[in-house]
Amino acid sequence: MLWHGERTEELNDLYRQYEHLFYGMSPGGCAELEGCYDSMTYDEYVGYIKECIRRKKTMPFIVLGDDVYECGDILKHLFSRCFFYAQNREVMGI
């Protein structure tokens, strides 16, 4: 599992829903998002999982976007998005 943040009953419940929807796949173990997990807050992470369940799409599709994930340019986009995200959090003092 790549997500190392807080585990709550809410998160455990979301994991069960996600794993049921995606045949046992965990939302916290997507290798495509390895660089992003550490920069996500608990609320952001939970929000992404809820969006996955609502839209019935896996974490990479929600975090990276449908068009990017499908076109195969994942690593380039992942690096730029995670770098931009971490940089903005730092500037904003989050």
What does the pLDDT look like over 17-41, one tens digit per residue?
A: 999 998 888 887 777 777 777 788 8
Predicted pLDDT of residue 72: 44
Q: Are 21 and 53 in contact (CB under 8 A)?
A: yes
Q: What is the pTM of this model?
A: 0.68
Q: What pLDDT, in 10s, does the model give residues 43-74?
A: 999 999 999 999 999 888 888 876 655 444 44
1 is a domain residue: no
3 is a domain residue: no
- Cα 93 to Cα 58: distance, rounded to the nearest angstrom: 29
Q: Are 7 and 38 in contact (CB under 8 A)?
A: no
Q: What pLDDT, in 10s, does the model give residues 68-91?
A: 554 444 445 555 555 555 555 554
Q: How many domains does the chain have?
A: 1
19 is a domain residue: yes
Q: Phi/psi of residue 11, each to 5°?
A: -65, -40
